[in-house]
């Protein structure tokens, strides 16, 4: 029997943040479809969660930098009538400066962090709207608002995730569909090794446990928060950032050039 809460599909679910989301959502009563490249790692995660939760958990190996695999996952999302949550967690990161990075790697990062996330969202959201319920959780990063840190292309892709989530949330207002962007800071996952660095290079004081991160983000989701930044101690800073951004609405397009650009007589 399928879960009354439906199915949560989680990309990048073989380790780190994705695996924690799988654990937490299963504990909340969701069935799961776990997606990542490694079939062996996925199955290990699935076995552990099945033993703890008793939920129905399927694994779906796919490389989301491959257009054919993305198309297969899109079809999966479109054809699952029980789909209720999509967690777009799969992503690539980089820490090296742009000019020290391989362009093919940067292009692959854009493909995964931007194109795949967008296509999977487009596959899931129409049926959520038709049903009047559903949730999209997009894992962004603090570098989406601090692009001077780490690699510029990486920061750019995460800025897209934040902007896309903000626009989607506004567009879906009143439909019953929830959208959230989660902005992790430094987190204790294998991200650092995969991106060519190491957690050992970071002070312990700035590195958050992945479980703590996901628990905080889910608490924000329950409260209806669009943007979750679990490491930000003063929430007023984000409120001020958003207020300043919104204060420019309606003032960024004008027939007349601003007076500061006029040549002195």
Task: Classify the phi-psi angles of 16: left when phi > 0, otherwise alpha if psi is within -120 to 50, otherwise beta.
Answer: left
User: How far apart (Å, rounded) are the C-alpha atoms in residues 105 and 121?
Assistant: 23
Task: At 158, list the tokens.
Answer: 């995460």
Of the candidates 160, 55, 53, 38, the residue with the CA atom closest to the CA atom of residue 109? 160
- The set of residues, in sequence order, having a beta carbon less than 8 Å from that of 73 and lying 6+ positions away, is 11, 35, 60, 62, 64, 120, 123
- In sequence order, what DSSP letters do the residues of 43-63 get, joined into one string? HHHHHHHHHHH---EEEEE--
The residue from 21, 30, 154, 241 that is catalytic is 154
154 is catalytic: yes
* Cβ-count burial 26-44 (b if 16+ within 10 Å, e if not): beeebbbbbbbbeeebbee
Contact 139/227 with Cβ under 8 angstroms? no
Task: Report helix, strand or coil for 139.
Answer: strand
Question: Looking at the annotation, which residues are catalytic?
Answer: 154
């Amino acid at each position: 029997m399928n879960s009354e809460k439906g199915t949560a599909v989680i990309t990048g679910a073989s380790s780190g943040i994705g695996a924690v989301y799988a654990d937490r959502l299963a504990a909340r009563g969701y069935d799961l479809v776990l997606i990542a490249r490694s079939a062996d790692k996925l199955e290990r995660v699935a076995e552990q969660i099945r033993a703890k939760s008793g939920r129905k958990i399927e694994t779906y190996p796919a490389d989301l930098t491959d257009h054919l695999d993305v198309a297969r996952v899109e079809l999966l999302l479109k054809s699952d009538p029980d789909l209720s949550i999509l967690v777009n967690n799969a992503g690539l990161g980089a820490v090296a400066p742009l000019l020290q990075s391989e362009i093919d790697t940067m292009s692959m990062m854009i493909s995964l962090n931007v194109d795949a996330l967008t296509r999977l969202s487009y596959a899931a959201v129409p049926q959520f709207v038709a049903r009047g319920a559903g949730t999209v959780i997009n894992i962004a990063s603090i570098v989406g608002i601090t692009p001077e840190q780490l690699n510029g292309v990486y920061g750019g892709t995460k800025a897209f995730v934040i902007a896309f989530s903000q626009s989607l949330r506004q567009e879906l207002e009143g439909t019953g569909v929830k959208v959230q962007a989660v902005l992790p800071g430094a987190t204790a996952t294998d991200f650092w090794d995969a991106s060519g660095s190491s957690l050992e290079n970071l002070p312990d004081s700035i590195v958050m446990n992945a479980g703590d991160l996901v628990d905080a983000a889910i608490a924000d989701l329950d409260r209806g928060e669009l943007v979750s930044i679990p490491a930000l101690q003063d929430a007023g800073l984000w409120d001020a950032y958003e207020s300043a951004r919104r204060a420019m609405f309606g003032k960024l397009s004008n027939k007349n050039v601003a007076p500061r650009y006029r040549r002195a007589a």
